Amino acid sequence: MAVSKSDLRKVVMAQKRDYTKVILGVCGAVFALFIIFGMLNWTNQVDWSLKALPTTDLNEDGRIQRPQEVGIDTNENGIIDSGDVFPGHDSNGDGIPDQGESPTKRFLNFLFLGIAILIGPIAFYKTKKQKDIAAIERRLPEFLRDVAEAGRFGMTLADAIVVASSGRYGKLTPEIKKMAAQIEWGVPATDSLRLFADRVNTPLTHRVVTIVIKSSDAGGSVADVLTMVAHDTKEAQLMQQEREIAMSTYLAVIYIAFFVFLVTIIILNVTFLPKIRIAGTNVAQAQAEAGISGEISGASLDVTAIPNIEIAFFLASMIHALGDGVMAGVLQNGSIAGGLRHSFIMLMLGFLILILI
């Protein structure tokens, strides 16, 4: 029975919708918006600090009075003076912080949030598609064996596929039902197999379908070929599973290395740098009271570099997260999309931890 192009379009039952471009478009627009927000903060047109400006309610009246209560009373003398620490950003250079974070830090906040929004949804969407395809491929040997058994009872390839469509093969079942419906509409079994391979679109399915089609066109016992292909496919899947199990160790090592690096940064930010800031402030105050110039005595500590050090630590952590995530995905299953998923997880965990602590 000849099938026209219009009939063929009806029975193809189109490929599953791919929302990759839609997701990329939406995420790209949000990323661009975050870059604009970051530029506004970088040029100091707005102040959207994620960390609040440090203050001390000295008179405990429940209100922060500027400028005398802006800062941390580290020497506990009841006033905010030159002996105290000012972790905030001083944008106007009067010695009193008026912003929670510097413009550069605010820009980096929005930049990496934008990157997370750009890579996160598409990475999880691609990973979901890969898992669905893996579930289809996992049941493929079982389907091929059932078709082979039906062929040994004298059924044609087309009839065997239709009979197999009543079975349960998990994620593969809808695809088999599509092939059966196409065959019932008059599409040759080999064409329905080609359409199936195009929908799944993986090297394994294309290889299996090509072998089956060549065997069917050549004549002879298709059942024996199907059995051989099913066995070969199962062996390939077992080898892939063994590889993934072996690579899971390296995946754990990458995550552990990232969190060790993150903990090191946290320790430096929470303990070491504040002590340096306090020591530098105390030295500067003592020199001012004694009328000694720090440049002459050589005893001064330049605490103005500490914010830049903190930014360098933050930047290193974010780059570490992006690079380690991609490496983890490539080692795990050779997929950059899977790597971006790990990058998103590490990026958000690192970002939230460094912002909250």
Interval 219-258: pLDDT, tens: 767 888 888 888 888 988 888 888 888 888 899 999 999 9
From first to last of its 357 residues, the chain has per-residue pLDDT tens of 444 455 445 444 445 577 889 999 999 999 999 999 999 999 989 989 888 766 665 666 666 555 555 556 555 655 555 545 556 676 776 666 667 788 999 999 999 999 999 999 999 999 998 888 888 888 899 988 988 888 888 888 888 888 888 888 888 888 889 898 888 888 888 888 998 888 888 888 888 889 888 888 877 678 888 888 888 889 888 888 888 888 888 999 999 999 999 999 999 988 888 778 777 766 766 666 666 655 544 455 666 778 888 899 999 999 999 999 999 988 888 888 889 999 999 999 999 999 887
Identify the pLDDT of residue 116.
96
What are the structure tokens assigned to 253, written together?
């090592």
Confidence (pLDDT) at 242? 87
Give dist(CA 319, CA 338) in Å, integer.
17
Average pLDDT, the chain: 81
* Long-range contacts at 247-252 (CB < 8 A, ≥ 24 apart): 247/331, 247/332, 247/333, 248/332, 250/328, 250/331, 251/328, 251/331, 251/332, 251/342
Q: List pLDDT tens digits, range 7-37.
A: 445 444 445 577 889 999 999 999 999 999 9
Nearest to 92 by CA among 80, 82, 103: 103
Is residue 201 exposed (0-12), middle (13-18) or buried (19+ Cβ within 10 Å)? Answer: exposed
For 307-332, write each residue's pLDDT tens digit: 888 899 999 999 999 999 999 988 88
Question: Can you tell me the distance from the alpha carbon of 328 to that of 215, in angstroms, rounded to the nearest whole number?
Answer: 40
Between CA 115 and CA 343 the distance in angstroms is: 10
The count of other CB atoms within 10 Å of the CB of residue 235 is 11
Q: Tokens representing 83?
A: 């002996």
> How much is the pLDDT for 150?
85
pLDDT of residue 297: 47
User: What does the domain layout of the chain look like in residue ranges?
Assistant: 5-16+137-239
| Confidence (pTM) | 0.79
Cβ atoms within 10 Å, residue 242: 10
Task: Give percent of the chain with pLDDT exceeding 70.
Answer: 76
Model pLDDT, residue 3: 44
Burial class (CB in 10 A: 0-12, 13-18, 19+), 173: middle
